[in-house]
Amino acid sequence: MAVSSDSVLKIFTKHPSFNLKNEFLGNAAGACRVSCNARKQRNKGRIIGVKAVAEASFKALEGFDKVKLELGLDSVAEKELRENGFTGMRKTKLVCTIGPACCSLEDLEKLAKGGMNVARLNMCHNTREWHRDVIRKIKTLNAEKGFCVSVMIDTEGSQIHVVDHGAPSSLKAEEGSVWVFTAQNFEGSRPFTVRANYEGFSEGIMVGDELIIDGGMASFQVVERMGNDLRCKCTDPGLLLPRAKLSFWRNGKLSYQGLPTISEKDWEDIAFGISEGVDFIAVSFVNDADSVKDLKNYLSTKKSESVRVLAKIESLESLQKLEEIVKVSDGIMVARGDLGVEVPLEQIPAVQEDITDICRKLNKPVIIASQLLESMVEYPTPTRAEVADVSEVVRQHADAMMLSGESAIGPYGEKALSVLRMVSNRMELQSREENYQSAINQHYLGVSLPDHISEEICNSAVQMANKLGIDAIFVYTRHGEMASLLSRNRPNPPIFAFTDDNDARMALNLQWGVIPILVDLSDDMEANISKTIALIKIKGMINDGKSVLIVSDLSPSNARASFQSIQVKTIE
């Protein structure tokens, strides 16, 4: 009987329970018989097919330690590969903010299934107990259902905002009306009085300065100082929201109150995040490289260097020191919400593109955040303009896109996630078609990184993969460096990154086009290659005739120094 690889695929798909378990590694054929028992009567031919392939693949596995043959692969990526093939795998990563609308185990599982790569917890909101509960649920889902969802905490940062304005929701400020802004904690409610969160909020502020609410929702002029309180007259009417942001301007320039980027509360939240084993810490309102360095130093004193630090670009100052911030960070978030408060809105698209380009050059992942599908906080479909915005992010080849209120508080979070997924797939297809026509524009990346050799190897590898129409890139990497250098070139085929370091795996989850896979690696490169191909094959994820480009930076045991290599293999 002819054995087609297609028949193997079908049987594996119909047997989700067929996993590579230690007990049956010694007897592959027997294992297949057991696993496929239910179908035995109905379709003997197919089972013979599985047996044949399994036997062939297990030959490659002979001699390996049975216990170390597990493959830590995201079950969602695996499903995507089975359904859409290598070319159909999504490259742009998706981040969801978790809030009251999506914090149950069932909701989190739906988001994981829907393609959430990273869950973001905004420490501005809710209690540490609430956040702990969510983090533990995500880790449980990863362990029990084979997902690979990384966890990010996002610091509150020091920001001046309203804590009480005398009404439960929004309040209208009429032109000419006079209000008192104070930090005093008073009993009951006083009309036309707004309480700010920070005692020193009015430090250095003078009569005549402008007070801007939420980046332009309403404006006031300071007419009198009374101790630390300010009496202000509304010059541009608008809405005061319950947590509205306050910023002061003088002669067209923002005044800085000199608040620390990482507050006392933030340090406590960071310690909490470390103890809960989060993968990323996103630092709000970074103004220079120092706050990122401070946090990295702290992480190393806590032996937690593996936690990746992302700098959020959301202030004018951070734009002026962008390069130094990108260089010291492990990644960047373009926090368009607050950035739009400090930068004129019409500049945001260009700023976003600049930041994305700099991150790509310096090889740091970049997340585009805020208002991607804002109308979906209320409505089940996005506006055409929002779809165009999301498409632009994908076209710019950002590593990741983020949902905020759409998933945290809106009733259509899962749907919003599927919009991001579908738009990514569509735009990535278009980019690939363009790439095929004109060799991908890589020259501008230049040779700009410290490790020139790895950089050049990865640039060349991707050029080769694109020209040869390779199906998948396999990279063997300890800390993820080679995988990210490949990703930086935005290749047509997906990048399967094999690593034996779980922290590297969880960090790679944020990088464009990388499917991180946890597997035990040895010093013997050839053995790693044949083992991983056999494992992928036995899972029914790759079939004969497919071509793989293999990049490695692991040194073989007999080599004195590490060496990198590129090879092309056809699966047989």
Ligand X SMILES: Nc1ncnc2c1ncn2[C@@H]1O[C@H](COP(=O)(O)OP(=O)(O)OP(=O)(O)O)[C@@H](O)[C@H]1O
Calpha distance 453→564 (Å, rounded): 8
Q: Does 338 bind K ion (CB under 5 A)?
A: no
Task: Please tell me the distance from the alpha carbon of residue 362 to that of residue 404, in angstroms, as a whole number.
Answer: 27
- Smallest distance from the beta carbon of 291 to ligand X, in angstroms? 16
Residues 119 and 134 sit within 8 Å (Cβ to Cβ): yes
User: Residue 306 binds which entry of K ion, ligand X, Mg ion, none, with Cβ cut-offs from 5 to 8 Å by kind?
Assistant: none
Distance, in Å, from the CA atom of 385 to the CA atom of 387, rounded to the nearest integer, reads 5
Please tell me what DSSP assigns to residue 233.
E
Angle between helices 44-61 and 525-538 (to 10 degrees): 170
Using CB under 5 A as the binding rule, whether residue 335 contacts Mg ion is answered as yes
Minimum distance of ligand X from residue 212's CB (angstroms): 16
| Three-class secondary structure assignment of 281-328 | EEECCCCCHHHHHHHHHHHHHCCCCCCEEEEEECCHHHHHCHHHHHHH
CB of 284 to ligand PYR, least distance (A): 6
Point out which span in 122-130, 451-459, 500-508, 554-562 binds ligand X (CB under 6 A): 122-130
* Nearest distance in Å: CB 211, ligand PYR: 19
Extended strands (E) in 123-245: 150-154, 162-164, 171-173, 178-182, 193-196, 210-213, 218-226, 229-236, 238-240
Distance CA 81, CA 541 (A): 7
Could you say which of 337, 361, 520, 547 contacts ligand PYR (CB under 6 A)?
A: 337
Give the list of residues 6+ apart from residue 95 with CB closer than 8 angstroms, or none.
Answer: 116, 117, 118, 119, 120, 152, 367, 369, 400, 401, 402, 403, 510
* Among 94-102, 171-179, 219-227, 559-567, the segment contacting ligand X (CB under 6 A): 94-102
124 binds, among ligand PYR, K ion, Mg ion, none (CB under 5 to 8 A by kind): K ion
Nearer to ligand X, 124 or 527 (CB): 124
Displacement of CA 66 from its chain's centroid (Å): 33
Q: Positive or negative CA dihedral for 324, 443, 434, 483?
A: negative
Q: Work out what residue 370 binds among ligand PYR, K ion, Mg ion, none; the CB cut-off runs from 5 to 8 Å by kind.
A: ligand PYR
Q: Tally Cβ neighbours within 10 Å of residue 41.
A: 8
Any contact of residue 409 with ligand X (CB under 6 A)? yes
State yes or no: residue 343 binds Mg ion (CB under 5 A): no
Residue nearest to ligand PYR (CB): 337
Q: Which two tokens mark 436? A: 């095929």
The one segment of 92-100, 384-392, 501-509, 522-530 that binds ligand X by CB under 6 A: 92-100
Radius of gyration over every alpha carbon of the chain, rounded to an integer in angstroms: 26
Residue nearer to Mg ion on the CB measure, 123 or 417: 123
Alpha helices (runs of H) in 36-180, residue ranges in sequence order: 37-40, 44-61, 75-84, 105-113, 128-145
- What is the C-alpha to C-alpha distance for residues 239 and 248, in angstroms, rounded to an integer? 17
We find the least distance from the C-beta atom of residue 120 to ligand PYR, in angstroms, to be 8
Select from 513, 436, 506 the least CA-distant residue to 469: 436
**Nearest CB to ligand X, comparing residues 335 and 549:** 335
Q: Which of 210, 279, 314, 386 binds ligand PYR (CB under 6 A)?
A: 314
Q: Taking the complex as a whole, how short is the minimal distance between the CB of residue 133 and K ion, in angstroms?
A: 19
Name the nearest CA neighbour of 489 among 510, 465, 524. 465
Residue 404 in the binding site for K ion (CB under 5 A): no
Q: Which does 279 bind (CB under 5 to 8 A by kind): ligand PYR, K ion, Mg ion, none?
A: none
Q: Which of 195, 336, 421, 539 binds ligand PYR (CB under 6 A)?
A: 336
Please tell me the distance from the alpha carbon of residue 518 to that of residue 502, in angstroms, as a whole number. 6
Give phi and psi for 161, each to the nearest 5.
-145, 170
Does 99 participate in binding ligand X (rule CB under 6 A)? yes
Rounded to whole angstroms, how far apart are CA atoms 293 and 340? 26
Q: Which residues contact 74 (CB under 8 A, 6 or more apart)?
A: 146, 147, 148, 515, 516
CB of 299 to ligand PYR, least distance (A): 21
CB of 430 to ligand PYR, least distance (A): 27
- Candidate ranges 27-35, 223-231, 329-337, 498-506; the one touching ligand PYR (CB under 6 A): 329-337
Q: Which of 124, 239, 445, 464 binds K ion (CB under 5 A)?
A: 124
Instruction: Report how many residues bind ligand PYR under the rule CB under 6 A.
Output: 9
Query: Binders of K ion among 206-265, rule CB under 5 A?
Result: none
Measured CA to CA, the distance from residue 451 to residue 437 in angstroms comes to 30
Residue 154 interacts with K ion (CB under 5 A)?
yes
Of residues 279 and 314, the one with the C-beta less far from Mg ion: 314
* Smallest separation, CB 404 to Mg ion (Å): 9
Q: Which of 80, 266, 338, 399 binds Mg ion (CB under 5 A)?
A: 338
Q: Which of 66, 82, 125, 478 binds ligand X (CB under 6 A)?
A: 125
Report helix, strand or coil for 242: coil
Interaction with ligand X in 334-363: which residues (CB under 6 A)?
A: 337-338
Should residue 284 be labelled a site residue for K ion when binding is judged by CB under 5 A? yes
- Interaction of residue 539 with ligand PYR, rule CB under 6 A: no
Out of 202, 263, 370, 489, the only residue in the binding site for ligand PYR (CB under 6 A) is 370
Q: What's the burial of 330, exposed, middle or buried (CB within 10 Å: 0-12/13-18/19+)? A: middle
Binding residues for ligand PYR (CB under 6 A):
284, 312, 314, 335-338, 369-370
Binding residues for Mg ion (CB under 5 A):
314, 335, 337-338
Binding residues for ligand X (CB under 6 A):
97, 99-100, 122, 124-126, 154, 284, 337-338, 404-405, 408-409
